[in-house]
């Protein structure tokens, strides 16, 4: 049956409508999960609040388990789902930079908008910085970032293809890892929440 | 303390469910949902005649050097070597569904893309139609059939019959075009030189570009 647009059940014009609905819901859920607070986001780094990790891990687990079961039941054709191509070097370097930015700024791009939407000034400042960064990147792309941007293109690979195992096997091990992480978050939070650098 | 215990209980419960879901995935067989065309849709596609290109249309496209068409010859390779239309590629009907070691269709890069329009031909229409039906069934895009095949191509173009003097202008124009086309393909009446000088040309597979990345997700 799905994906609805790729299978021609819905016309591509619905893309924007879905994007709008999903975007609004995503922002709402971010806000409800408490991600519009910088303290909560940097909490992962300092160890006193692991909500971010737990929420995102829950999202990944739900989506991946759901997709695999939907595929098995024939409700969705997983081979038609768009997979972002992996550019390994820009992914690593960009990932490190985004991580640093999250510790320093207290937000990631999505949550900064959620924060700005409920009137947080730091969220708005963060968005300002985001635009400056985008501008800088765009203006210097040709002579600074182009090589990095195009390097190490692995194409739309998936982890189970690289490892040469079935998607179900990978998902099983991922779930074991996720369960371990969930329990670890409890331990870590307990260990660090008593320390006195909460601010 | 009680509420703490219920929370812990809940965690154990969720852990159990997650583990169970994972374990089921571990033993579920892999399932490929690659969609084939449903019989109803196939019937509808067969009933409509919009898969056909007339020999004149094809002659026009070849003469104008249209880069957006790809002629696909589904006859045997001997027949193909003996004669083929300019720039055609040879995919013998018997090899159409060949798979490589990864289980992918060898010819899919040619037969399933949206850059070039494939026009399948054989001597008549039957084999070309069979090839077209196979591609249609596999939901491959952009495949068409030369109406009447090479036989019609020769009959209509190389051996075009002069219409009566009293025939409508349209028919006379068509005849003139056929005549001119026949000259392009090697002179009216003589049928042996259509592409006698050109060796069977290996086409280059059209790599279909993946759709452009939509704005990435993430938080």
Q: How many domains does chain A have?
A: 2
* Domain encompassing residue A190: 1-82+165-199
pLDDT value at residue B205: 58
Nearest residue to B74 (alpha-carbon basis) of B129, B113, B112, B114: B129
Claim to verify: residue A9 and residue A76 sit in the same structural domain: yes
Tokens 């045997």, residue located: B76
| Mean pLDDT, rounded, for A1-18 | 80
The alpha carbon of residue B217 is apart from the nearest alpha carbon of chain A, in Å, by: 9
Claim to verify: residue A8 and residue A69 sit in the same structural domain: yes
Claim to verify: residue A132 and residue A184 sit in the same structural domain: no
Is B21's Cβ below 8 Å from some Cβ in A? yes
Is B28's Cβ below 8 Å from some Cβ in A? yes
- The CA distance from B179 to B169, in Å, is 15
Claim to verify: residue A71 and residue A101 sit in the same structural domain: no
Claim to verify: residue A36 and residue A74 sit in the same structural domain: yes
Claim to verify: residue A174 and residue A78 sit in the same structural domain: yes
Strand B52-53's sheet: what is its strand order? B52-53, B143-146, B117-121, B69-73, B89-90
Across the interface, of B23, B30, B216, the residue whose CB is closest to A84 is: B216
Contacts for A84 with CB less than 8 Å, ≥ 6 apart? A156, B213, B216
Beta bridge partners of B145: B52, B120
Claim to verify: residue A53 and residue A110 sit in the same structural domain: no
The pLDDT tens digits for B13-29 are 988 999 999 999 888 87
Whether residues A182 and B28 touch (CB distance < 8 A) is answered with no
Claim to verify: residue A14 and residue A108 sit in the same structural domain: no
The alpha carbon of residue A172 is apart from the nearest alpha carbon of chain B, in Å, by: 4
The pLDDT tens digits for B197-215 are 444 445 555 555 444 445 5
Nearest residue to A114 (alpha-carbon basis) of A127, A97, A101: A127
Angle between helices B126-137 and B39-47 (to 10 degrees): 140
Claim to verify: residue A144 and residue A172 sit in the same structural domain: no
Claim to verify: residue A142 and residue A78 sit in the same structural domain: no
Claim to verify: residue A10 and residue A75 sit in the same structural domain: yes
Claim to verify: residue A141 and residue A169 sit in the same structural domain: no
The pLDDT tens digits for A49-67 are 888 889 889 999 999 999 9
- CB contact at 8 A, A103 and A42: yes
pLDDT value at residue A134: 92
Whether pLDDT at A119 is above 50: yes
Q: Which one has a higher pLDDT value, B49 or B71?
A: B71
Whether residues A74 and B213 touch (CB distance < 8 A) is answered with no
Nearest residue to B20 (alpha-carbon basis) of A177, A69, A172, A68: A172
Nearest CA in chain B to A156: B210
Across the interface, of A110, A156, A183, the residue whose CB is closest to B219 is: A110
Whether pLDDT at A166 is above 80: yes
Sign of the alpha-carbon torsion through B192, B197, B200, B204: negative
Q: What structural domains and CATH numbers belong to chain B? A: 39-158 (3.40.250.10)
Q: Which one has a higher pLDDT value, B113 or A168?
A: A168
Sign of the alpha-carbon torsion through B5, B10, B16, B18: negative
Q: What is the pTM of this model?
A: 0.58
Helix, strand, coil in percent for chain B, rounding step 5? 45, 10, 45
Across the interface, of B14, B25, B32, the residue whose CB is closest to A172 is: B25
């Amino acid at each position: 049956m799905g994906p609805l647009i790729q299978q021609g059940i819905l016309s591509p014009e619905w893309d924007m409508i879905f994007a709008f609905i999903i975007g609004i819901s995503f922002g709402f859920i971010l806000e409800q999960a408490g991600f519009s607070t910088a303290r909560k986001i940097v909490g992962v780094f300092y160890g006193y609040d692991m909500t971010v990790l737990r929420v995102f891990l829950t999202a990944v687990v739900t989506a991946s388990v759901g997709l695999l079961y939907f595929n098995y039941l024939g409700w969705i054709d997983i081979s038609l789902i768009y997979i972002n191509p992996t550019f390994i070097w820009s992914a690593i370097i960009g990932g490190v930079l985004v991580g640093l930015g999250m510790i320093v700024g207290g937000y990631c791009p999505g949550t900064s908008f959620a924060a700005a939407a409920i009137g947080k000034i730091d969220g708005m400042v963060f968005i300002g910085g985001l635009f400056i960064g985008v501008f800088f990147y765009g203006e210097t792309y040709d002579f600074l970032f182009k090589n990095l941007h195009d390097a190490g293109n692995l194409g739309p690979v998936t982890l189970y293809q690289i490892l040469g195992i079935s998607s179900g096997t990978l998902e099983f091990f991922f779930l074991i890892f996720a369960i371990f992480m969930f329990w670890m978050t409890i331990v870590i939070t307990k260990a660090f929440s008593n320390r006195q650098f909460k601010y | 303390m009680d509420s703490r215990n219920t929370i812990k209980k809940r965690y154990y419960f969720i852990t159990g469910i997650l583990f169970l879901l994972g374990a089921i995935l571990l033993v579920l067989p892999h399932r490929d949902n690659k969609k084939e065309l449903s019989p109803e849709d196939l019937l509808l596609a067969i009933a409509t005649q919009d898969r056909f290109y007339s020999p004149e249309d094809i002659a026009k496209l070849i003469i104008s050097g249209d880069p957006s068409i790809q002629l696909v010859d589904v006859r045997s390779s001997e027949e193909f070597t003996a004669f083929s239309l300019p720039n055609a590629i040879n995919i013998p009907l018997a090899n159409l569904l060949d798979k490589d070691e990864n289980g992918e269709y060898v010819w899919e890069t040619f037969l399933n893309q949206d850059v070039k329009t494939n026009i399948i031909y054989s001597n008549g229409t039957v084999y070309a139609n069979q090839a077209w039906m196979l591609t249609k069934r596999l939901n491959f895009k952009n495949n068409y059939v030369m109406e009447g095949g090479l036989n019609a191509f020769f009959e209509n173009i190389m051996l075009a019959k002069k219409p009566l003097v009293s025939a409508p202008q349209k028919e006379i124009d068509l005849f003139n075009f056929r005549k001119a086309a026949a000259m392009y393909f090697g002179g009216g009446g003589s049928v042996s030189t259509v592409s006698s000088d050109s060796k069977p040309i290996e086409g280059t597979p059209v790599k279909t570009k993946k759709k452009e990345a939509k704005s990435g997700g993430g938080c």
